[in-house]
Amino acid sequence: MGLLQEAIFGVVTGSYIAIAAIGFTLIYGIVNMINFAYGEYLTLGAFVGFFAANALPGPLPVAVVAAMLGGGVISIALARGFFTPINHTGPVPMLLTSIGLGIAVRNAIRLFGGRSARYIDTETATFRFDAVPEVPIGSVDLLGGFFLTSEHLTVVGSAVAVFLVVHLLLTRTDVGIAMRAMGDDESLARVRGIDTQLIRDSVWVLAGVLAGLAGVLMAIQTNVSSTTGYSHILQILSAAILGGAGSPYGAIIGAYVIGLALAISTAFLPSSMTGLSSAVAFAILIAVLLVKPSGIAGTEVREA
């Protein structure tokens, strides 16, 4: 397989990581916590989408909308139940709570859903481009024939739509502007009359909707199981930190860097070591924290 094909896979992976990473980084910036249970929101969204696709007669977009709604409801419910009551305790207890909650939710899903993978049936059109010349360098082919599926286009299209909507939300609406104000300085925002708890709740809903969408897109691409979201949480986290924690635009760039790095490392690693490609994402994360801990967008994460 040519490098061009791997790059396409990388862009697709980057797209759904980007959707999730925006939600993750908004929670980080505004609620001021690393939400390690975020992967489970993706899994729950994927399950909602799966059941909606089976139960509802409508086309696939109905299932996607159901997953987004489900994700939003789940996110605000979990936040109200677990995170809002300990909001004052600071980042470390919140991180530890989210780790505990993640374990609990993941195993609750395993308890009720079993370990087997489920598949969402979709009709896929494949577009082949075989006429592209091969440009081999060593064992790796730089161009080569490639293919695109309608699923790939759906994922990338959804991601672009999300970027536009989030951008408009953050720059053109009152609630979005209030979110950015809170991300900058919560006390000042409160002084200016912003209802900080309301904004925090809306961030939870928005992050849940994005998680639901990312989860159902992952489900369409691969499958639904209890570890669908968890297996991506470290990539989402890497993307968010790489982009500069708290910055949605940075997270988008970070997600595509991570997606492409994963895909291209698959091309260069020997086939027996493809499992290492996930380590590549963490190696990037650590390298970023060493060289430029503030990330692409420049938020300081060092003490003093």
Partner 1 sequence: MSALDRLPSGRGDRALLAGVACLLVGGLFALTPLQADLPSALYVFVEVGITFVIYGMLVLGLDLQYGHTGLVNFGHVVFFAVGAYATAMLAAQDSFSGIALGYPWPLALLVGVIAAALLGVVVSATSIRLRDDFLAIVTLATAEIFHSIFVNFEGTFGGNVGILGVPRPIAALVGDADTRLIATLLVLGGFTLITLAVVTRLTDAPYGRVLRAIRADELVTRSVGKSTITYKTQAFVYGAALAGFAGGLFALYNGAVAPGFFTIQVTVTVWIGMLLGGAANHRAVLAGLAIIMGLRLVSRFGLSVTPVSGDVFAAFRLLVVGLILVAVIRYRPAGIWGDPQELGVDQ
Residues near partner 1 (CB under 8 A) = 33-34, 82, 85-86, 89, 91-93, 95-97, 99-108, 110-111, 115, 234, 237-238, 241, 272-273, 275-276, 278-279, 282-283, 285-286, 289-290, 293, 301-304
Tokens representing 101?
């909650």
β-bridge partners, 137: 140
**What's the min distance (Å) between Cβ of 25 and partner 1?**
13
Query: Sign (positive/negative) of CA torsion 8, 12, 13, 17?
Result: positive
Task: Give whichever of 82 and 163 is closer to partner 1, judged by the CB atom.
Answer: 82
Q: Which is nearer to partner 1, 91 or 298 (CB)?
A: 91
Of 98 and 158, nearer to partner 1 (C-beta) is 98
| Least distance from partner 1 to the Cβ atom of residue 204, Å | 17
- What minimum distance in Å lies between the beta carbon of 239 and partner 1? 13
Rg of the chain (C-alpha set) = 19
Q: How far apart are CA 57 and CA 73, in angstroms?
A: 22
The string of DSSP codes covering 105-173 is HHHHHHHHH-S--B-------EEEE--SPP-EETTEESS--EEEEHHHHHHHHHHHHHHHHHHHHHHHS
- Tell the smallest beta-carbon distance from residue 194 to partner 1 (Å): 25
Least separation in angstroms between CB 14 and partner 1: 19
Give whole-number Cα distances, 201 to 22, 113, 198, in Å.
16, 29, 5
Cα→Cα distances 137→3, 8, 71, 134, 268, Å: 10, 19, 45, 10, 11
Which residue type occupies 61? P
For partner 1, the closer of residues 100 and 136 by Cβ is 100
21 or 101: CB nearest partner 1: 101
Which amino acid makes up residue 102? G
Q: 112 or 174: whose CB is closer to partner 1?
A: 112
CB of 294 to partner 1, least distance (A): 11
Cβ proximity to partner 1: between 175 and 289 the closer is: 289
Tokens 């490639």 correspond to what residue? 146
Q: What is the helix (H) or strand (E) element at residue 20, kind and residue range?
A: helix 3-31
**Rounded least distance, CB 80 to partner 1, Å:** 13
